[in-house]
Amino acid sequence: MPRHVGANSEVILRKPARASAAFVPHSDYRPDPSRSIFVSGQINQDLVYSLTPSIIRLQHENRSPITVYIDSPGGSILAAGSILRLLKSPARDSSSPCRLITVVTSLAASSAAILLAAGDYAIAFPDSLIHFHGTRTYRQDAITVEEAADVAKDLKASNEASAVSLARVRSRNFFFRFITLREGADAYRANNPKATTEKDCFVGMVSEKLTRWGREVIQKADRRNRRYDALSARMFKSPAIRKQLDLMEKGTPKPDYYRNLEAKMLAAIIAFEISSNKKNLLWTFERSGMAQVSDDFFLLTEYIGQHKNDWIEGFCEEWKDFILQDADKDAIEALPEEQRKSARVAKLAPVLLPLWLFFGSICHVLQEAENPLTPTDAFWLGLVDDIIGESLPTLRKIAEHSPRAS
């Protein structure tokens, strides 16, 4: 579930001020070597021990942003999590954590890439490398079939958790890219008539800005996203499944609700797999079908979770001023107050939900195989906020040309 802008958010997310606005450097968006730590080399428990005194000292000095410089091939995801928790901890007399500015100077790979993306404002040096990949494990002792199955299950669960966490942390940045490119959608559509939706236009426009590495991520995410659509179309054709989903929306379901829904989902998936492979005479459930059924089941479960109204409403509230046309805003404001939220959701969900699902696909792809990215790739995919020395549409530029900058 993505984070939303709260009333006290320090992130300035609004339309740019006039060109005549004064420029004032904003400490929330600029690295500060005097309040910094350096994550270098392998990320392990020894690094946690060595950084802890510096982090605690910075936390106690004041609540100004902390800069985290990164040059690391990664290492333990648990150790990276420990460093992040220390950095995000509140002060004794304050519930607010220090804002984090993360900066990759040369390399951020594996858990170091996750640490970079976890920053409130993530910055890349030019020519640095950001490398995401799936969870790894190392075993020196012999293992049984049962143990191997458990290891595979654990690795898959870790990849899923990392993908969901990355999507939640970085979703706003991905949508900010959408907002900055949206004005050019009509021109792109004129030259690419197959791009019929806002998502198609945005993905196409972003792809043109990526290197081969970045385009490979987009292509793999597109295949995963198309499977989302195909599976969900099969699932929602089932009256039994639609009935179960309606029950979930109306209130607290009966104790056996989820079990019955899962059974109906599995039936729909099996029918989908048989239909998809009917021309492949060598295909069987035993050879590869059961593994695909398992993957599809979790894919559908994730898909249903993204359609829950509780966060869709908040998501639409966050982006309404950037997407709704003035005529739509006026029409919604003319409605009774109790109808406005649902009217905004009806108007915005068809635009925002496909983009959110596509970004979720990107985050899952990044947790599979090897995905090296340039700073430009990482920027346009929403994984970093700024590249030093590059002229790009960033929140820093908005904040530093705003009356609110300080």
CB 113 within 8 A of CB 130: yes
pLDDT at 313: 78
Whether the predicted pLDDT of 106 surpasses 90: yes
pLDDT at 4: 36
Question: Does some domain include residue 239?
Answer: yes
Residue 298 or 19, more confident? 298
Taking the C-alpha atoms of residue 98 and residue 269, their distance in angstroms, rounded to an integer, is: 46
Give how many domains the chain has, as a whole number: 2
Q: What is the mean pLDDT of residues 142-148?
A: 77
One domain, residues 206 and 348? yes
pLDDT at 6: 36
Whether the predicted pLDDT of 179 surpasses 70: yes
One domain, residues 206 and 102? no
Q: What is the CATH number of the domain that holds 15?
A: 3.90.226.10
Residue-wise pLDDT tens digits, 339-363: 988 899 889 988 888 898 899 899 9
One domain, residues 334 and 377? no
Q: What is the mean pLDDT of residues 360-376?
A: 94
Token match 């976890």: residue?
Answer: 118
Taking the C-alpha atoms of residue 32 and residue 327, their distance in angstroms, rounded to an integer, is: 44
**80 token code pair:** 């990276």
With pLDDT > 90 as the criterion, what percentage of the chain qualifies?
51
Taking the C-alpha atoms of residue 103 and residue 116, their distance in angstroms, rounded to an integer, is: 7
Whether the predicted pLDDT of 9 surpasses 50: no
State which of 61-70, 129-138, 162-171, 342-351 shows the largest mean pLDDT. Answer: 61-70
Question: Residue 91: pLDDT band by 50, 70, 90 thresholds?
Answer: confident
One domain, residues 319 and 385? no
Question: Residue 95: pLDDT band by 50, 70, 90 thresholds?
Answer: confident
Residue-wise pLDDT tens digits, 47-86: 999 999 999 999 989 899 999 999 999 999 999 999 999 9
Question: Does some domain include residue 227?
Answer: yes
Whether the predicted pLDDT of 97 surpasses 70: yes
- In three state form, how does the secondary structure of 238-279 look? CHHHHHHHHHHHHCCCCCCHHHHHHHHHHHHHHHHHHHHCCC
pTM recorded for the entire structure = 0.85
Mean pLDDT of the residues in the chain: 86
One domain, residues 88 and 125? yes
One domain, residues 6 and 113? yes
Q: Which domain holds residue 204?
A: 198-360
SS3 302: helix
pLDDT at 301: 77
One domain, residues 356 and 396? no
Question: Does some domain include residue 317?
Answer: yes
Residue-wise pLDDT tens digits, 224-255: 888 878 887 777 777 877 777 777 666 666 77
Question: Does some domain include residue 165?
Answer: no
* Burial of residue 110 (number of CB atoms within 10 Å: 0-12, 13-18, 19+): buried
Question: Does some domain include residue 175?
Answer: no
One domain, residues 209 and 112? no
SS3 25: coil
pLDDT at 147: 77
Whether the predicted pLDDT of 296 surpasses 90: no
Residue 141 or 406, more confident? 141
